[in-house]
């Protein structure tokens, strides 16, 4: 019954937004209240779930998105994005730019959380699309496929890392197997599927594009790349160096602080303020106004993310996740397929890949010893399942839609299909690898 209520709630949400044109945030709140009542939650529990869901979702990403928007605005308005895109065309040409963004997405996605990587790279994609009159979705989706795969499959991202620890799996071996599975998944969901997306020519969000600047007014290539790559370098370097230090040591704690996503983005914004602002002879008042405008560009996203978080928490507290687990625990499927399937169903119902992965891991852990299933492959299988069909209850869905300015239907046809391909191709890769090493 819980699953039927969930499906009806999601259908109603889509109708409110796309057919009745109700504001997205209001639609989320109405559906969250209705689903909570249908699941027979006490009214006070529904309100608490909505507050908790909004708070936990925004608490984890609002600072990253705000700082990312500031950095993206500085990169765009200073001419840094123009400089990078111009040099990229000189080096590889426009014919191969989508491959360049795809590879960049994979490299960036290894150390960075998805939202950080998105906020850094999306403005570059949008600027490139405007400058060279290319469909933004066509050149951008391969990059987003890379970011999605690294988030879902590979530690040290939150869900894969938590599953690795719960299964007592080896981090290095999981990462090695994960990269083997990730490469074909990216090629299928990003490169091959991306070829079909040339028809989506809707102009992306112009807020991250500035008018062309003359050569003399653009920052240097070094300053441009340094500003974009600094958070990647900070997080990546601290991750590597921390592995050689004793826990609880001063250096370990200091590196952990600097390598935090919010702190690294904050440092990067400060560096960009100097390199792309003050050093380019911009006044501080002008830079401050620019940073303020960047928040206006993403303000509506905060409400949408909060609404998605509210619905996610109502579904979780209402017992939807537990209902799915109970219905699937007596399945006779192969353990790797079962882990993938359970994670996929929870992901579609609840919207959170992290909740999906960690919940599924708790159920699958006892099966590992009794079925002799390879734990490293189970991590990857659950990770792949947790990326299944992102839609209206996932914050990433709205992030993509708002930046690339697609309709709800076109977002489902592009982003949601890409995420589904990420999930299915990941399972196929895991099963093939299991046949080889088994």
165 belongs to a structural domain? yes
84 belongs to a structural domain? yes
Q: How far apart are the first and last CA of the chain?
A: 39
160 belongs to a structural domain? yes
Condensed to tens digits (0 to 9), the pLDDT of residues 332-343 reads 889 999 999 999
pLDDT recorded at residue 52: 96
pLDDT of 162 higher than 90: no
Condensed to tens digits (0 to 9), the pLDDT of residues 412-428 reads 999 999 999 999 999 99
Q: Which H or E element spans position 399? A: helix 395-404
Position 156 confidence tier, pLDDT thresholds 50, 70, 90: low
> What DSSP letter does each residue of 109-177 carry, written as one string?
HTTS-HHHHHHHHHHHHHHHHHHHT--HHHHHHHHHHHHHHHHHHSTTSHHHHHHHHHHT--HHHHHHH
111 belongs to a structural domain? yes
pLDDT recorded at residue 420: 98
Which two three-digit tokens encode residue 134?
Answer: 């290319």
Condensed to tens digits (0 to 9), the pLDDT of residues 234-283 reads 987 887 888 889 988 999 999 989 988 889 999 999 999 999 999 999 99
C-alpha angle 43/46/48, rounded to 5°? 110
Question: 219: which DSSP letter?
Answer: P
Q: Which domain holds residue 70?
A: 2-198+220-437
Residue-wise burial string across 278-307, b where 16 or more C-beta atoms lie within 10 A, e elsewhere: eebebeeeebeebbeebeebbeebbbbbbb
Condensed to tens digits (0 to 9), the pLDDT of residues 225-245 reads 999 889 888 987 887 888 889
The model's pTM: 0.80
Which two three-digit tokens encode residue 151?
Answer: 């988030």
pLDDT recorded at residue 370: 75
233 belongs to a structural domain? yes
For CA atoms 48, 23, 305, 38, the dihedral sign is positive
pLDDT of 330 higher than 80: no
Of 145, 111, 110, give the one whose Cα is nearest residue 125.
145
215 belongs to a structural domain? no
The tally of domains found in the chain comes to 1
Q: Per-residue pLDDT averaged across 351-355, rounded?
A: 84
Whether the Cβ atoms of residue 309 and residue 54 lie closer than 8 Å to each other: yes
Question: 220: which DSSP letter?
Answer: P
pLDDT recorded at residue 435: 95
262 belongs to a structural domain? yes
SS3 332: coil
- Look at 366 and 228; give whichever has higher pLDDT: 228
pLDDT recorded at residue 226: 94
366 burial via Cβ count (<10 Å: 0-12, 13-18, 19+): exposed
Which two three-digit tokens encode residue 211?
Answer: 């008018």
- Look at 288 and 21; give whichever has higher pLDDT: 288
Condensed to tens digits (0 to 9), the pLDDT of residues 175-226 reads 899 999 999 999 999 999 999 999 999 999 888 887 788 888 899 999 999 9
Position 385 confidence tier, pLDDT thresholds 50, 70, 90: very high
Of 391, 397, 409, 317, give the one whose Cα is nearest residue 359.
317
Condensed to tens digits (0 to 9), the pLDDT of residues 74-83 reads 988 898 988 9
206 belongs to a structural domain? no
Q: Per-residue pLDDT averaged across 317-328, rounded?
A: 84
pLDDT recorded at residue 134: 93
Average pLDDT, whole number, for the chain? 90
Which two three-digit tokens encode residue 224?
Answer: 């441009």
Whether the Cβ atoms of residue 271 and residue 225 lie closer than 8 Å to each other: no
pLDDT recorded at residue 212: 80
Which two three-digit tokens encode residue 61?
Answer: 């990403």
């Amino acid at each position: 019954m819980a699953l039927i209520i969930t499906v009806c709630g999601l259908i109603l949400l889509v109708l409110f937004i796309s057919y009745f044109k109700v504001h997205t945030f209001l639609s989320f709140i109405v559906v969250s209240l209705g689903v909570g009542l249908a699941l027979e939650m006490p009214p006070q529990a529904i309100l608490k779930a909505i507050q908790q869901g909004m708070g936990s979702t925004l608490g984890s990403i609002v600072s990253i998105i705000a700082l990312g928007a500031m950095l993206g605005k500085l990169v765009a308005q200073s001419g840094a994005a123009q400089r990078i895109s111009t040099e990229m065309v000189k080096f590889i040409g426009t014919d191969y730019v989508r491959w360049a963004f795809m590879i960049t997405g994979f490299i960036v996605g290894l150390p960075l959380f998805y939202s950080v990587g998105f906020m850094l790279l999306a403005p570059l994609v949008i600027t490139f699309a405007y400058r060279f009159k290319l469909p933004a979705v066509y050149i951008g989706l391969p990059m987003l496929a890379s970011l999605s795969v690294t988030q879902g499959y590979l530690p040290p991202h939150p869900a894969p890392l938590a599953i690795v620890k719960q299964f007592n799996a080896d981090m290095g071996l999981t990462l090695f197997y994960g990269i083997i599975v990730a490469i074909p998944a990216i090629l299928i969901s990003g490169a091959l599927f991306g070829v079909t997306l040339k028809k989506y020519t809707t102009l992306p969000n112009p807020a991250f594009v500035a008018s062309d600047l003359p050569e003399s007014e653009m920052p240097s290539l070094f300053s441009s790349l340094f500003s974009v790559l600094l958070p990647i370098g900070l997080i990546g370097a601290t991750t590597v160096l921390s592995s050689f230090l004793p826990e609880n040591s001063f250096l370990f704690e200091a590196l952990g602080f600097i390598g935090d996503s919010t702190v690294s983005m904050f440092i990067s914004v400060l560096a960009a303020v100097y390199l792309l602002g003050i050093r380019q002879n911009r006044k501080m008042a002008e830079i401050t106004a620019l940073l303020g405008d960047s928040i206006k560009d993403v303000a509506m996203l905060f409400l949408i993310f909060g609404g998605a978080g509210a619905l996610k928490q109502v579904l979780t507290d209402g017992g939807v996740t537990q209902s799915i687990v109970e219905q699937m625990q007596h399945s006779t499927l192969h353990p790797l397929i079962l882990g993938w399937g359970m994670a996929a169903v929870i992901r579609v119902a609840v919207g959170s890949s992290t909740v999906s992965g960690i919940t599924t891991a708790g159920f699958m852990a006892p099966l590992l010893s009794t079925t002799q299933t390879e734990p490293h492959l189970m991590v990857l299988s659950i990770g792949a399942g947790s990326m299944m069909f992102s839609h209206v209850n996932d914050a990433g869905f709205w992030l993509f839609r708002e930046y690339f300015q697609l309709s709800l239907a076109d977002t489902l046809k592009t982003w949601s299909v890409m995420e589904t391909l990420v999930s299915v191709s990941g399972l196929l890769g895991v099963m093939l690898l299991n046949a080889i090493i088994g």
